[in-house]
């Protein structure tokens, strides 16, 4: 297991969201879960906590998270990830799904 | 056939959203509470915020229910300490509040890494289920994926009033690999998927009366079947248990020495095996003269 | 003085046949006599062809050959499509082989790599299929060919059923050069459904005690297709199939292209592409094509081989598949490969590794697999002259110089940026360039598809149009742009990527009208094998390992 945390600059989240938190994905082989929560953080950063079962890929994790924080206004959120070896593309997909759920609701 | 997403392809949370009336699901102990397994962490195994079980209050067709779904991908949906406590609590709440309880099962049974806690939780949940049944509070198990309901969860599912299955679902005590290990490959070849499904799959369980409804692999079909059963209950009585015991003895006598699962299907009134193999849900049921 | 040889080969064949004597009754040999017969008909120094490709195998004959010893059989120059069976490896371990020329070693890739390391693998070259067949007519003509057929009649005619595959390409050069053709058959019957190889090209026949090995190579369970593969399939459909109006094509065997096949009747139909794309196929009877065929997308399919379980389906769809007078399916690997080389708009396949120049390979340091047929199709056929819309459009983008053809075949590599277990697909340098491997192959690195031939790379990140790049540096930047979060991808330059995107050389999913959040398995025409059987109206009989009902 490898554990790390980092905050990334990001434009502030819209002031109104459909939910206070959203979860996307499941913890299973080659998969991950992303918990996205709003509130309580500086509005200009996306705070990320990652726990992954496959160590040694911190650079690609940080690059993927930084890209997401750059492309989506997610400032003021906290991202917590439980990972069981998901490829970066899935990290990106789950972040987008969680973001959609948070901002627009489940449907 | 059904349209829309297939039930066995959905995640636990998607299944819950599909079964519950829109917007009616309120999760208990949701992920932000971060109730994760203290044991898996120590073993270097990733944890999950819901510990593999999503529970909450919801409405189905306007009726209040307690609704839960196991996450099969997370350590095989296995029951650990947190997972088990949530499961027990849910059925206890159902009995206390006299609100029907629907559980979507996807589990191989107890989580080996936290075995004692899991065993105890399953036993306590069974007690809560029987409390529900004594109070005529309906309890419904849905078994609709190939992970199925095995081990303690297989037993637990049969304690509920009703079981709703699809052709993908499997129900048993020992899993196929375990049976092969103890009985030998000649007696039971676990790699023979057709054999495994013909012995423990939803269709066979429906034929034998272990499943109360066999439905298409779609959220709508599962929801309709659950909604129909919500108003019913089947209280436990000594007479009922004795009758069931007799049925099982009859079944054993009739099919106990049969090595060919097709013979069981034929014995239960399926005439065209090939057509029945490809049929789903009610279409299968129509091809079979389901007996007891 | 006249030095031309005259009738020597024929004399030599007659001598070998004389040595066989009463071991055979006419052409027919009983299975227990096979090892002795092989000893008498094969001589040291022979070029010996052992039939076996990635699907069917003359496995009984190979197993019998492997029971012999070096003193019985040595200095053999082995020529064969695929090194597939443990028996093949045994021949090398026993030191019977002087040289080997082959195409592919999929299932024995690790064993071959071990033999190379132990210097017990005297390889001439790794070929592509048609390249090796071509050499059977030039400098690698077999002296003896051990082949596999489904049935023989009492005269010695052979029926090859759905799996014609390499057989004609082996038998013709052997039989017409006074070589010996020895066939194993599943059964000997009075009347064949049809004659695929005439008796006078066959010298010996044995009814094998077990049916020939047949690999269900092209069966992909839709249940194993991921959402990410669906995303890539959507991107490929919009960014390449739709854009170039690809009418004739070949698909590889992977899950990526299976996802495309299963999207045609759903997503493809929604895009209004039916009748516009994917009409003519050079591909094996892929079970995952059943929904597209049943929905009327497909005009014709020609195949290099059969597929287990597709017999009744292909026979019932004779308007689409090539079938014999008996009504059953027909294939031919040599002609199929030729069709895939010259007559299609697009080849699309996957690879294990792609380097920054676009070269790809399936070789790793511990596994030497070779090529098979992909490079015959995944290359530019500069001998091609007939135009099609796709060919001209791709050609125009490539900005041909005064000395190049006006068109280009679309050669597409479709890969996820990471393989299973987070192994990056994109690398600075291919494992195939390993010095040990190159030395064993006489200096040639086993590259599957050369970067110069590739027109597009599709990943989950988007499409890189390599044909439209104007320099090697630009091509490398385009590849890094779609290489995601691999070490190769992390080296991309943001400004360079933005510039390539502005010029349409790099396209993200949204640039071709695909929303990643829409990518879901629920878009597939069916999600499992049982669904394929249902689509086929019960005509598809999947192999038992795929059946759970």
Instruction: Based on the fold, state whether residues C232 and C288 are members of the same structural domain.
Output: yes
- Please report whether residue C138 resides in a domain: yes
Pick from C540, C528, C530, C520: nearest CA to C226: C520
Q: Do B22 and A23 touch (CB under 8 A)?
A: no
Q: Do A30 and C420 touch (CB under 8 A)?
A: yes
With contact defined as 3+ CB pairs under 8 Å, the chains touching A are B, C
B22 touches chain A (CB under 8 A): yes
Q: Do B198 and C544 touch (CB under 8 A)?
A: no
Contact list in B for residue A28 (CB cut-off 8 A) is 71, 73-74
pLDDT attached to residue C2: 66
Tokens of C128: 């592509």
Q: Do B73 and A82 touch (CB under 8 A)?
A: no
d(CA C159, CA C163) in angstroms, rounded, equals: 10
Q: What is the mean pLDDT of residues B188-194?
A: 91
Q: What is the mean pLDDT of residues B114-138?
A: 96
pLDDT attached to residue B292: 38
Exposure b/e, C242-261, CB count within 10 A at least 16 = b: bbbebbbbbbbbbbbbbbbb
Angle between the N-to-C axes of helices A58-71 and A88-104, in degrees from 0 to 180, rounded to the nearest 10: 30
- Please report whether residue B197 resides in a domain: no
Please say whether the beta carbons of C311 and C542 come within 8 A: no
- Flag whether pLDDT at B115 surpasses 90: no
Q: Which stretch of DSSP H or E encloses residue B59?
A: strand B53-60
The model's confidence at residue B259, banded by pLDDT at 50, 70 and 90, is confident
Tokens of C342: 């010259």
Please say whether the beta carbons of A6 and A48 come within 8 A: yes
Map tokens 């690398």 to a residue.
C427
> Pairing mode, if any, of strands C28-29 and A31-38?
unpaired
CATH number of the domain within which A50 lies = 3.30.230
pLDDT attached to residue C549: 83
Pick from C232, C460, C257, C448: nearest CA to C358: C448
What pairs with residue C347 in β-bridges? C250, C411
- Please report whether residue C107 resides in a domain: yes
pLDDT in tens, B147-172: 999 999 999 999 999 999 999 999 99
Q: What distance lies between CA C382 and its chain's CA centroid? A: 21
pLDDT in tens, A33-80: 999 999 877 889 999 999 999 999 999 999 999 999 999 999 999 999
Distance between C502 CA and the closest CA of chain A, angstroms: 18
Q: Do B48 and A106 touch (CB under 8 A)?
A: no
- Flag whether pLDDT at B4 surpasses 80: no
pLDDT attached to residue B234: 84
Q: Do B194 and C548 touch (CB under 8 A)?
A: yes
**SS3 assignment, position B231:** coil
Give the total number of structural domains in chain A.
Answer: 1
CA end-to-end span of chain A: 34
How many helices, marked H, and strands, marked E, lie in chain A? 2, 5
Q: Which residues contact C406 (CB under 8 A, 6 or more apart)?
A: C387, C392, C395, C396, C400
Give the total number of structural domains in chain B.
Answer: 1
Instruction: Based on the fold, state whether residues C100 and C56 are members of the same structural domain.
Output: yes
d(CA B13, CA A24) in angstroms, rounded, equals: 9
Distance between A71 CA and the closest CA of chain B, angstroms: 25
> Pairing mode, if any, of strands B101-105 and B139-143?
parallel
Give the structural domain span for A6: 2-12+19-104
Q: Return phi, psi of residue A93, to 5°.
A: -65, -45
Instruction: Based on the fold, state whether residues C336 and C420 are members of the same structural domain.
Output: yes
Contact list in C for residue B196 (CB cut-off 8 A) is 548
d(CA B86, CA B121) in angstroms, rounded, equals: 9
CA distances from A4 to A59, A85, B42, B148 (A): 11, 15, 17, 36
Q: What is the mean pLDDT of residues B138-144?
A: 98
C417, C484, C517: residue with CB nearest A97: C517
CATH number of the domain within which C312 lies = 3.40.1080.10
- Flag whether pLDDT at B3 surpasses 60: no
d(CA C242, CA C443) in angstroms, rounded, equals: 41
CB proximity under 8 Å: B 74-103 to A: 74
What pairs with residue A12 in β-bridges? A75
d(CA B287, CA B275) in angstroms, rounded, equals: 8
> Pairing mode, if any, of strands C410-414 and C346-349?
parallel
Give the total number of structural domains in chain C.
Answer: 2
Handedness of CA B252, B257, B261, B266 (dihedral sign): negative
d(CA C383, CA C484) in angstroms, rounded, equals: 36
End-of-domain residue from the set C154, C184, C207 = C207
CATH number of the domain within which B157 lies = 3.90.226.10
Instruction: Based on the fold, state whether residues C172 and C84 are members of the same structural domain.
Output: yes
Instruction: Based on the fold, state whether residues C193 and C151 are members of the same structural domain.
Output: yes
Pick from B290, B122, B280: nearest CA to B197: B280
- Please report whether residue B59 resides in a domain: yes
- Please report whether residue C532 resides in a domain: no
End-of-domain residue from the set C151, C180, C207 = C207
pLDDT in tens, chain C (549 residues): 567 778 899 999 999 999 999 999 999 999 999 999 999 999 999 999 999 988 899 999 999 999 999 999 999 999 999 999 999 999 999 999 999 999 999 889 999 999 999 999 999 999 999 999 999 999 999 999 999 999 999 999 999 999 999 999 999 999 999 999 999 999 999 999 999 999 999 999 999 999 999 988 889 999 999 999 999 999 999 999 999 999 999 998 899 999 999 999 999 999 999 999 999 999 999 999 999 999 999 999 999 999 999 999 999 999 999 999 999 999 999 999 999 999 999 999 999 999 999 999 988 888 888 888 899 999 999 999 999 999 999 999 998 889 999 999 999 999 999 988 789 999 999 999 999 899 999 999 999 999 999 999 999 999 999 999 999 999 999 999 999 999 999 999 999 999 999 999 999 999 999 988 788 898 999 999 999 999 999 999 999 889 888
Q: What is the mean pLDDT of residues A12-29?
A: 93
The model's confidence at residue A107, banded by pLDDT at 50, 70 and 90, is low
d(CA B152, CA C59) in angstroms, rounded, equals: 47
Tokens of B200: 């423990």
Give the structural domain span for C193: 26-207
Q: Do C490 and A97 touch (CB under 8 A)?
A: no
Q: Which of A22, A33, A51, A84 to probe the B interface (max B CBs under 10 A)?
A: A33
- Please report whether residue C530 resides in a domain: no
- What ipTM does this complex have? 0.93
Contact list in C for residue B193 (CB cut-off 8 A) is 544-548
Instruction: Based on the fold, state whether residues C172 and C263 are members of the same structural domain.
Output: no
Closest CA in chain A for residue B42: A1
End-of-domain residue from the set C184, C207, C230 = C207
- Please report whether residue C13 resides in a domain: no
């Amino acid at each position: 297991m490898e554990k790390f945390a980092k905050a990334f600059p990001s434009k502030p989240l819209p002031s109104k969201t459909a939910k206070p938190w959203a979860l996307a994905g499941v913890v299973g082989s080659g998969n991950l879960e992303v918990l996205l929560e709003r509130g309580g953080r500086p509005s200009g950063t996306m705070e990320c906590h990652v726990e992954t079962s496959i160590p040694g890929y911190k650079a690609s994790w940080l690059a993927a998270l930084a890209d997401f924080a750059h492309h989506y206004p997610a400032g003021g959120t906290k991202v917590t990830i439980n990972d069981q070896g998901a490829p970066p593309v899935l990290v990106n997909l789950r972040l987008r799904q969680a973001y959609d759920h948070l901002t627009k609701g489940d449907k | 056939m059904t349209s829309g997403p297939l039930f066995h392809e959905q995640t636990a949370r998607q299944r819950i959203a599909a079964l519950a009336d829109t917007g009616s699901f309120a999760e208990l102990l949701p992920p932000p509470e971060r109730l994760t397994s203290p044991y898996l962490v120590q073993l270097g195994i990733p944890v999950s915020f819901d510990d593999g079980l999503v529970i909450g209050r919801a409405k189905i067709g306007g009726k209040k229910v307690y609704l839960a779904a196991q996450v099969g991908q997370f350590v095989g949906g296995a029951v650990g300490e947190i997972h088990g406590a949530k499961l027990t609590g849910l059925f206890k709440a159902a009995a206390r509040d006299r609100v029907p309880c629907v559980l979507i099962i996807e589990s191989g049974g107890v989580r080996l890494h936290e075995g004692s806690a899991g065993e105890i939780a399953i036993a306590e949940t069974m007690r809560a289920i029987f409390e529900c049944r004594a109070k005529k509070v309906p309890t419904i198990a849905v078994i609709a994926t190939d992970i199925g309901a095995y081990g303690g969860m297989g037993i637990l599912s049969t304690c509920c009033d009703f079981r709703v299955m699809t052709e993908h679902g499997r129900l048993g005590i020992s899993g196929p690999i375990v049976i092969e290990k103890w009985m030998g490959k000649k007696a039971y070849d676990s790699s023979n998927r057709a054999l495994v499904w013909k012995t423990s799959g939803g269709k066979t369980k429906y034929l034998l009366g272990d499943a109360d409804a066999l439905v298409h692999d779609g959220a709508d079909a599962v929801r309709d079947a659950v909604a129909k059963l919500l108003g019913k209950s089947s209280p436990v009585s000594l007479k009922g248990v004795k009758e069931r015991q007799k049925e099982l003895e009859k079944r054993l006598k009739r099919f106990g020495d049969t090595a060919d699962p097709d013979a069981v299907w034929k014995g239960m009134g399926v005439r065209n095996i090939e057509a029945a193999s490809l049929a789903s849900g009610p279409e299968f049921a129509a091809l079979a003269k389901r007996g007891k | 003085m006249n030095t031309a040889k005259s009738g020597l080969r024929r004399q030599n064949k007659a001598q070998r046949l004389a040595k066989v004597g009463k071991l055979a009754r006419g052409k027919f040999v009983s299975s227990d006599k096979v090892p002795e017969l092989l000893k008498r008909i094969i001589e040291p120094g022979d070029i010996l062809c052992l039939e076996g490709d990635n699907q069917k195998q003359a496995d009984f004959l190979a197993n019998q050959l492997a029971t012999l010893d070096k003193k019985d059989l040595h200095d053999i120059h082995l020529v064969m499509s695929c090194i597939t069976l443990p028996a093949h490896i045994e021949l090398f371990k026993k030191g019977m082989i002087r040289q080997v020329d082959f195409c592919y070693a999929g299932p024995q890739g690790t064993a071959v790599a071990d033999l190379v390391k132990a210097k017990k693998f005297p390889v001439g070259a790794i070929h592509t299929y048609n390249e090796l067949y071509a050499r059977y007519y030039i400098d690698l003509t077999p002296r003896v060919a051990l082949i596999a057929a489904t049935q023989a009649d009492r005269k010695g005619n052979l029926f090859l059923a759905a799996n014609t595959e390499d057989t004609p390409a082996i038998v013709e050069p052997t039989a017409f050069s006074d070589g010996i053709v020895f066939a194993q058959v599943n059964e000997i019957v009075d009347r064949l459904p049809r004659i695929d190889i005439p008796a006078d090209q066959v010298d010996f026949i044995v009814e094998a005690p077990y049916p020939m090995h047949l690999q269900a190579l092209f069966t992909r369970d839709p249940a194993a297709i991921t959402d990410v593969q669906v995303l890539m399939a959507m991107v490929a459909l919009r960014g390449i199939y739709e854009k170039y109006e690809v009418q004739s094509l070949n698909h590889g065997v992977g899950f990526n292209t299976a996802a495309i096949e299963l999207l045609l009747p759903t997503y493809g139909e929604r895009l209004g592409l039916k009748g516009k794309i994917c009409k003519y196929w050079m591909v094996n009877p892929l079970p995952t094509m059943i929904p597209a065929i049943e929905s009327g997308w497909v005009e014709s399919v020609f195949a290099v081989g059969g597929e287990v379980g597709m017999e009744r389906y292909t026979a019932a769809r004779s308007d689409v598949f090539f079938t014999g007078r008996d009504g059953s399916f027909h294939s031919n690997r040599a002609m199929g490969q030729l069709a895939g080389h010259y007559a299609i708009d697009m080849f699309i396949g996957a690879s294990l590794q792609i380097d920054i120049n676009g070269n790809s390979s399936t070789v790793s340091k511990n596994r030497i697999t070779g090529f098979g047929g992909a490079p015959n199709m995944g290359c530019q056929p500069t001998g091609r002259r007939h135009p099609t819309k796709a060919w001209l459009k791709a050609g125009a983008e490539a900005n041909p110089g005064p000395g190049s053809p006006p068109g280009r075949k679309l050669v597409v590599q479709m890969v996820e940026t990471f393989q299973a277990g987070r192994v990056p697909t994109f690398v600075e340098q291919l494992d195939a360039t390993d010095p040990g491997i190159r030395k064993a192959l006489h200096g040639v690195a086993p590259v599957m598809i050369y970067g110069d031939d590739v027109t597009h790379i599709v990943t989950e990140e988007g499409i890189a149009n390599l044909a439209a790049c104007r320099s090697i540096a630009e091509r490398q930047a385009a590849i890094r742009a779609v290489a995601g979060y691999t070490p190769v991808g992390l080296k991309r330059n943001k400004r360079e990527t933005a510039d390539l995107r502005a010029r349409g050389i790099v396209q993200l999913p949204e640039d071709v009208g695909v929303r990643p959040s829409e990518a879901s398995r629920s878009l597939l025409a069916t999600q499992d094998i049982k669904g394929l059987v249902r689509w086929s109206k019960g005509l598809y009989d999947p192999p038992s390992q795929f059946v759970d009902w």
